[in-house]
Amino acid sequence: MLRVTTRPPLSPTTLAFDIGGTGLKASVLDGKGRMVHDRVRVPTPYPCPPKVLLANLRTMAKGLPEFDRVSVAFPGVVRHGKVLSAPNLVRAAGPDSDIDPALVALWHGFDLGRAVERSFRTPTRVLNDADMQGLDTVKGKGLEVVITLGTGFGSSVFEDGVLGPHLELSHHPFRKGETYDEQLGDVARKRIGRKKWNKRVADAIEALDALLLFDHLYIGGGNTKHLTIDLPARVTVIDPNAGLLGAFELWKERPRISSGR
Ligand code: BGC
């Protein structure tokens, strides 16, 4: 839910970053999880080694109110605050370009949690971006699944409100020998057009229901605006700011392998 307030921020305030393959978004949330500043967005710079990302995050924070802690939603696998994969940020010139082995080497194992903590001198937690969207979204009842349709295909699974292990469905085979990312990501959507892409989204919903028998599925991400299919009753489109708002919920979680410190 979008919660923008003009009242002075209650503490602790959270600087929220949502790193995407196409855009970097940021805002500050008050002690109740409401946005105290309009979302700031800049295009994701390419090439984007860790240093460049950190410099961009620092610049974005300059225009934002003060904060007590930082949450980062990251578009790849993160364990104990360290990056294990960054499928888009390792590409030389943007999501549709080749993977640069030098960028793979720089990102793999990069301790993003510690780097952000040092850069901002503030306690920091990092979580996969789809997991972060889920934290703001789920109702805490039954088996809830969140998928995100953006540059890549994100997913998270919750049981009675508890975040499960991160499943990197984006890199799992989906159809015709291709992964969810390859079939449903932004590059594919632009290539195949709205109608075919929507049909694939419907197929993915069915496949996920067969796999997880979800009680509810939520769909987030910038490409939800291209959805034209009738969604089943158990499927809902969510707040476009969920990736930022989850930054507040993350601090209610106990630190664990997926979120780091
Ligand atoms: C990554 C996921 C991420 C998703 C959404 C995919 O390419 O593999 O980890 O959650 O994009 O950003």
Q: Tell me, yes or no, whether 184 lies in a domain.
A: yes
Q: Are residues 98 and 167 in the same domain?
A: no
Residue 256 lies in a domain: no
Identify the residue whose C-alpha is closest to ligand 1 atom 4.
154
Residue with the larger pLDDT of the pair 1 and 164: 164
Which of the four pLDDT bands, split at 50, 70 and 90, describes residue 254? confident
123/83 same-domain check: yes
Atom nearest to 77 CA in ligand 1: 9
pLDDT, tens digit (0-9, with 9 covering 90-100), for 57-106: 999 999 999 999 999 999 999 999 999 999 999 999 999 999 999 999 99
| Non-local CB neighbours of 75 within 8 Å, separated by 6+ positions | 19, 20, 21, 86, 87, 88, 89, 128, 129, 151, 152, 154
CA of 219 to the centre of ligand 1 (A): 14
- Give the pTM: 0.95
CA 228 to chain CA centroid, Å, is 23
* 225 and 169, same domain (yes or no): yes
Query: Does residue 59 sit in the same domain as residue 83?
Result: yes
Question: Contact at 8 Å (CB) between 125 and 81?
Answer: yes
Q: Which residue from 85, 107, 170, 186 has its CB within 8 A of the most atoms of ligand 1, so it is best to mutate?
A: 170
One domain, residues 98 and 72: yes
Residue 29: per-residue pLDDT: 97
Whether residue 143 sits in one domain with residue 86: no
Give the strands of the sheet with 14-19, arranged side by side: 40-43, 23-29, 14-19, 69-74, 124-128
Cβ neighbours of residue 172 closer than 8 Å, sequence gap 6 or more = 179, 180
Are residue 22 and residue 108 in the same domain, yes or no?
A: yes
Q: Ligand 1: distance of its center to the CA of 76 in Å?
A: 5
**Structure tokens of 108?**
């793999």
Q: How many CB atoms lie within 10 A of CB 121?
A: 8
Number of domains the chain contains: 2
Instruction: Give residue-wise pLDDT tens across range 209-250.
Output: 999 999 999 999 999 999 999 999 999 999 889 999 999 999
Full residue range of the structural domain in which residue 119 is found: 14-131+243-249
CATH number at residue 75: 3.30.420.40
Same domain, 95 and 151: no
pLDDT at 256: 75
Band (8; pLDDT cuts 50, 70, 90): low
Q: Is the residue at 9 inside a domain?
A: no
Contact 248, 228 (CB under 8 A): no
DSSP 91: B
